[in-house]
Amino acid sequence: MTAYREVVVRTPLALKILPIVSVATFFIAWEIVVRTGVVPDTMLAAPTTVTQLLFDKFTNMDPDGALLHQHAWVSIQEAFGGYFLALAVGLPLGLAMGWFNVAEGLARPIFEIIRPIPPVAWIPLTIFWFGIGLPGKIFIIWLGGLVPCVINAYVGVKMTNPTLIQMARTYGASDWQIFRQLCIPSALPMVFGALQIALACCWTNLVAAELLAADAGLGFMITMGRRLAMPEMVVLGMFMVGLTGAFIGVIIDRVEKRLLAGIRR
């Protein structure tokens, strides 16, 4: 007789079925509401119409002047441009602010001035400065991604176990050595948290930037849908934004798991 029996945890059948039922009900209700005319089709498009448009958009340039994957590609370019710039500036800045007093003393006040301004508020100034091209949008997205990068890197360094720092000092480590070999590794989980948060911020700001000034991209597609009173295009644009964002999020999650294997969160 073995000492223990394997415990089998059973999820009730209802728990497995309910999620599927709920999503299915949502889409069916949506379809019915539009088909029966409870909600007029100038306000909302049925899921089937949206799906039709989805396939149509891969080959048909009308009425917004670009194919779906071209819109998506423009958006992804802008988002990644801003995102990587934000990482390249924000993470080193945050790490340095966390450890070096001089860096914190100099950068903190400016950061605190910039931080409460929503990135969306910068759009008009950016249009003055850069016009409505790619650099302007990258600037907005960069601003949006910068704040979470700095905060997370900073908090990550600040949360380094003080005992370890004291021990390193006892063994005669210099400030720089402690920063490089102790603070940065211990801040890594927070830094990777920042990757996800910054991505979500970048993606939100991308849509905002494109709503106001653009001639291509998913946000532009949504705006055109509204101007042309085509709700199916608006809904398609929203779904594409959500889908692309979620997809990139999953990729970053994978990379994070690969790189951080073995570090306890």
Partner 1 sequence: MSQEATCSAASSSIANETVGQVVDRGPISLGRILTNRWFLHTVSIVAFFWLWDWLARSNVLGAGSSVLARPHEVLEQLAVLTREELAELTLWGHVWASTQRVVIGFSIAAAIAVPLGLFMALNRYVNAIVKPLFDLLKPMPPISWISISILWFGIGETSKVFIIVLGTFVPCLLNAYNGVRLVEPELYDVVRMLGGKRRDEILHVCFPASFPAIFAGLQISLSIAWTCVLAAELVSARSGMGYIIVQGMNLSQPAMVIGGMAVIAAAAWGTTLLVTALERKLCPWKRKIVGL
Residues that bind partner 1 (CB under 8 A): 14-15, 18-23, 26, 42-44, 101-102, 104-110, 113, 116-125, 127-129, 151, 154-155, 158-159, 161-163, 166, 169, 175, 203-204, 207-208, 211-212, 219, 222-223, 225-226, 229, 231, 234-235, 237-239, 241-243, 245-246, 249
Q: How far is the CB of 7 from partner 1 (least distance, A)?
A: 16
Measured distance CA(178)–CA(156) in Å, rounded: 14
- Residue 60 CB, shortest distance to partner 1, in Å, is 20
Q: Rounded to an integer, what distance in angstroms lies between the CA atom of residue 141 and that of residue 208?
A: 9
Nearest to 83 by CA among 184, 197, 222: 197
CA dist 15 and 78 (Å) reads: 41
CA 215 remoteness from chain centre = 22
Q: Minimum distance between the CB of residue 16 and partner 1, rounded to whole angstroms?
A: 8
Nearest approach in angstroms of CB 234 to partner 1 is: 5
Distance CA 260, CA 197 (A): 17
| CB closer to partner 1, 155 vs 188 | 155
Residue among 106 and 255 whose Cβ is closer to partner 1: 106
Task: Enter the tokens of residue 265.
Answer: 């969160």
Burial class (CB in 10 A: 0-12, 13-18, 19+), 38: exposed
Nearer to partner 1, 215 or 259 (CB): 215
43 or 88: CB nearest partner 1: 43
**Rounded CA gap, 201 and 34, in Å?**
33
CB of 1 to partner 1, least distance (A): 29
| Dist CA 169 CA 10 (whole Å) | 52
Closest to 126 in 3D by CA, of 142, 114, 137, 115: 137
Least distance to partner 1, CB of residue 72, Å: 14
Quote the least distance from Cβ 24 to partner 1, whole Å. 10
Query: CA 239 to CA 107: how far, in whole Å?
Result: 39
Q: Give the nearer residue to partner 1 in terms of CB position, either 27 or 259.
A: 27
Q: Which is nearer to partner 1, 251 or 259 (CB)?
A: 251
Ramachandran assignment for 28, one of left (phi > 0), alpha (psi -120 to 50 degrees), beta (any other): alpha
Nearer to partner 1, 66 or 205 (CB): 205
